[in-house]
Amino acid sequence: MKRLSVLVLALLSMMLGGAAWGHFKLNLNVRIFHIVHEADGLDLYLRTPMSYLVADKLGPIGSDGLPAPAPFTTNRPENGVPMHLLDPEALLADPFGLGQFAADGLRIDSDDGPLAAEVISVRIHQVGNEPGFATRAEAVAALAEGAVIGNESDETYIGDIVVDVHLRYPSITQVSEYQISALTDPGLPGQEETANLVLDYRGDTTRTYRATGLMAEPVTVSGSPVAAASSFVIEGVRHILEGIDHVLFVICMVIGARTLRALLTRVTGFTVGHTVTLGLGFFGVAPSGTWFIPAVETAIALSIIWAAADAIMQRPGYTRSNRNAVAVTVAIGLLHGFGFSFMLREILRVDADNVWQSLLAFNIGVELGQLAIVAFIWPATLLIRRMPDQVWIGTRGAIAASVSVVAAIWAVERATFLLG
């Protein structure tokens, strides 16, 4: 059993990298696509970090150890690290060239084949000074003045700039279904976590689609409400399966439940709580102080330790009302829901269309993700329970102890940030 404990702890420790802030990724990259159907084609209003347009266009390393600058940028070393800055003069000389990078990096395929893009307008903004882009009206207003840049200087880092582009895709027939994908790989850290939001406008109807990553795999946009909702269901599943803290909490519920029925009611109770605070936090019904984010994350880590301790208390002769257990998991679900609501709010915004459908679909995905973990672990749990009591008690204790160690490390990290 000692060897098992060491093995489980080692495997869980491998998950620590980047997991200490499982919900609040403050460097989250978001790309927003507003796609408007017209009688003769599509209008695309895109907001994207500038680095996504130029990072793959660096030249070879020179004698100074720096790569040749990408178009519209300059380089300089800072503490031995090459930093990439805006070249305002180059951008002023050819602002539509930056827009062409966006056009060349996207592909839209309709029933008639790939559509060719025309650059209509381009604007750049420093992060923190950008206008709203959550709705179609805001996107149109943001790009109404043609090729314009703000007060950005040659001291502005590329990572601090977002680019708005209006692209026109003429079509000889009205587009009913299309696939949108990205053709470039900027090679940026964390790009696989890019949050892409595609809003498709057909008259008075809006469908919202969600995709994660670079969108190398095309996103099919059909106008179907089921297809739009399914993209959020998939993201809900990803939220659970890729959120290590969620996975550990569900594992503790599995090893602590006596019956499958008891386990499923607890899992569903967690989802109910998660749904309530996800919605409340999304609409701003939560404290806004800087202390709240690290406080919630610290409490989430502590909730995992509680779940691990509760699991090892399930010894022969010990009974507890499942109703009480469900009440506790609902409360913990309330806590975890706040953990993701702020990032989701940054993706959807409070005034995005059909937001309730998207939130509901996301939480359905959360439930499915948890059930997937249960389906994977519960059969193994039943198998080990059929072995001598010493084997089951030792295995359960090793898992719970390992989970507690990982969660304790997270708790210390998050509490340190909170108190600092």
The DSSP code sequence of 51-91 is HHHHGGG---B-TTS-BPPPTTEEEEEETTEEEEEE-HHHH
In a domain, 227, yes or no: no
Confidence of residue 185 (pLDDT cuts 50, 70, 90): very high
Q: Is 176 helix (H, G, I), strand (E, B) or coil?
A: coil
Confidence of residue 77 (pLDDT cuts 50, 70, 90): confident
What are the tokens at 73? Answer: 């940028």
| Whether residue 37 sits in one domain with residue 11 | no
| Whether residue 152 sits in one domain with residue 10 | no
| Whether residue 400 sits in one domain with residue 256 | yes
Buried b (16+ CB within 10 A) or exposed e, 1-38: eeeebeebbeebeeeeeebbbbbeeeeebbbbbbbbbe
Measure CA of the first residue to CA of the last residue in the chain; give whole Å: 39
The rounded mean pLDDT for the chain is 82
In a domain, 222, yes or no: no
| Whether residue 81 sits in one domain with residue 34 | yes
Query: Is residue 25 pLDDT above 90, yes or no?
Result: no
pLDDT in tens, 356-382: 778 888 889 989 999 999 999 999 999
| Whether residue 132 sits in one domain with residue 265 | no
| Whether residue 90 sits in one domain with residue 19 | no
Residue ranges making up the domain that contains 293? 2-25+241-419
CA distance 367 to 313: 26
| Whether residue 18 sits in one domain with residue 112 | no
| Whether residue 150 sits in one domain with residue 20 | no
Instruction: Look at residue 344 in the predicted model and tell me its pLDDT.
Output: 65
Confidence of residue 293 (pLDDT cuts 50, 70, 90): confident
| 161-170 vs 178-182, strand pairing mode | unpaired
In a domain, 232, yes or no: no
State which of 189, 215, 232 marks the end of a domain. 189
CA distance 385 to 155: 63
| Whether residue 72 sits in one domain with residue 8 | no
Confidence of residue 166 (pLDDT cuts 50, 70, 90): very high
Measured CA distances, 146 to 103, 121, 124, 128 (Å): 16, 4, 11, 21
Task: Report which residue type is found at 181.
Answer: S
Instruction: Look at residue 354 in the predicted model and tell me its pLDDT.
Output: 64
CA 314 from chain centre, in angstroms, equals 35
Confidence of residue 135 (pLDDT cuts 50, 70, 90): confident
Measured CA distances, 294 to 18, 225, 335 (Å): 15, 36, 12
Residue 375 burial (C-beta neighbours within 10 Å; 0-12, 13-18, 19+):
exposed
CA distance 399 to 419: 30
In a domain, 209, yes or no: no
In a domain, 202, yes or no: no
In a domain, 137, yes or no: yes
Q: How many folded domains does the chain comprise?
A: 2
State which of 153, 168, 189 marks the end of a domain. 189
Measured CA distances, 219 to 204, 208, 236, 288, 326 (Å): 22, 12, 17, 34, 38
| Whether residue 164 sits in one domain with residue 123 | yes
In a domain, 245, yes or no: yes
CB of 236 closer than 8 Å to CB of 369:
yes
In a domain, 217, yes or no: no
